[in-house]
Amino acid sequence: MSRSPELHETADRLHSVAIHLLRRLRKVDEATGLSGPRLSALSVIVFAGPVTMTELAAAEQVKPPTMTRLVQGLEAEGLVRRRGDSDDARVSRVEATPRGRRILLDGRTRRVEMLSSLLEALDPAAREEVHRAVESLEGVVRSPSN
Amino acid sequence: MSRSPELHETADRLHSVAIHLLRRLRKVDEATGLSGPRLSALSVIVFAGPVTMTELAAAEQVKPPTMTRLVQGLEAEGLVRRRGDSDDARVSRVEATPRGRRILLDGRTRRVEMLSSLLEALDPAAREEVHRAVESLEGVVRSPSN
DNA sequence: GAATAATAGTTAGCCGTGCTAAGTATCTTC
DNA sequence: GAAGATACTTAGCACGGCTAACTATTATTC
C-alpha cells in the first residue's frame, strides 16, 4: 500500500495548490454579490437554459428542498424567473433573466481573467507544462466514481 | 486586457480540475465523520500544538465566536481538550486528544493515498510534468495577496 | 374510468457554520 | 486603583444542508 515519497509529496502539494487556487477564485466571486451555492445554481440555469427544479437539484448535488430555497433567493433578487411547463403542470422551469445572465457572465469573465493573470506570471515553457499537466489530471480526475 | 485564447482555455480547465480534485477529497474526508470546518480546525490543533482560541480563529480565517462553537463541538466528541494558560487566565489553550490525533492522521493518510492513486494512473513522464506544474503554480498562487 | 402508485415541488422544522453586538473576566497602563 | 485593552463567550440573526410529511398532478392498472 505505501507509495513512493515523491508521489506523496506531489499529492500533498497538489492538494495545497488546489485549495489556494479555489480560495483565490472564491474571493473574485464575491464581487458578484452572490453566495457560492446561488452563483453555482445560477450558472447551471444560464448555461442549461430553462431547467426543472429536479434537474437543477441533481446538477448541484443537492436535495430538492434546498434547491427550492436557492431558487427562491435568486428569484427575489430578480436574477431568475419561473414558468410552468405546458405539458406537465407539476414541473416548474427556471430560466435566467437578462440581469441574472449578465451578472453571471461578468463574474465568469473576472474569474478567468484572474486565473489568466496568474498563468501570465509564468514563462511560456512553464505555462505549456501547466497546460499539459491539466490535461493529464483531467483524464484522471474525471473518469471514475462520481 | 483580453488575453490569448489558449490562456483562457488553460485557465478554465485549471479551474475545473481544481474543483473536481477538491470534490474527490471532500468525499474521502467524509470517512472521518467530521464536517469540513471541524476537520480543518482539528488539523491546526494537531499540527500547531496547544493553540489559543484567537490563534485558531485567525488560522481558520473565522471570527472568534465561530471558533468557540467549532471547538465546543470537537470537545464534545472527545477529539480535543482545553487547558487554561498558566500565565494569563483569559486565554484557553486547545490541544488534541490521542483519539483526535488518530482520527486526523488517518484521514490525512486516506487523502494522500487517494491523490497518490490518481497520480499513479499517469505514466511517469506525465507524473513528472504534474510535479513541475504544481511547483510553478505554487509560486504563483502563494505569492501575492493573502 | 376509478383506484392506486409514482413523480414534481413545497412546507416545516432540525442542525451546523458564518456573522455582529454585547457581555464577562482578566490583564495592562498610567 | 481606575481606565482601557484583550481573550473569550453568549445571544441572536442569516443561510444552506438535510429529512419527513404534505399537495398537486400524471401514469398505471384492474
Residue A1 counted as domain residue: no
> Which residues in chain B (73-132) have CB-CB distances under 8 A to chain A?
111-113, 115-116, 118-122, 126-127, 129-132
Q: What's the pLDDT tens digit per position in A58-82?
A: 999 999 999 999 999 999 999 999 9
**A49 or A77: which leads in pLDDT:** A77
Q: What's the pLDDT tens digit per position in B53-89?
A: 999 999 999 999 999 999 999 999 999 999 999 899 9
Confidence of residue B18 (pLDDT cuts 50, 70, 90): confident
Enter the C-alpha cell of residue B119. 497520480
Residue ranges near strand C (C-beta within 7 Å): A 52-55, 64-65, 67-69, 71-72, 88, 90-93; B 35-38, 60-63, 65-66, 69-70, 73, 87-90
Residue B80, domain extent: 5-142
Domain total in chain B = 1
Residue A60 counted as domain residue: yes
Compute the distance between CA of residue A13 and CA of residue A21 in angstroms, rounded to an integer.
12
Residue A2 counted as domain residue: no
Residue A117 counted as domain residue: yes
With a cut of 90, say whether residue B106 has pLDDT above it. yes
Residue A133 counted as domain residue: yes
Average pLDDT over residues A44-60: 96
Residue A23 counted as domain residue: yes
Give Rg (Cα) of chain B.
19
For residue A55, give the CATH number of its domain.
1.10.10.10
Average pLDDT over residues A130-146: 79
Q: What's the pLDDT tens digit per position in A100-119?
A: 999 999 999 999 889 888 88
Q: How far is CA B14 from the centre of its chain?
A: 20
Question: Cα dihedral angle (A42, A43, A49, A53), rounded to 10 degrees?
Answer: -50
Tell the residue number behind the cell numbers 480543518, with chain if given. B40
How close A77 comes to chain B (CA, Å)? 27
Compute the distance between CA of residue B47 and CA of residue B98 in angstroms, rounded to an integer.
13
Indicate if the alpha-carbon torsion angle A65, A70, A71, A77 is positive or negative: positive
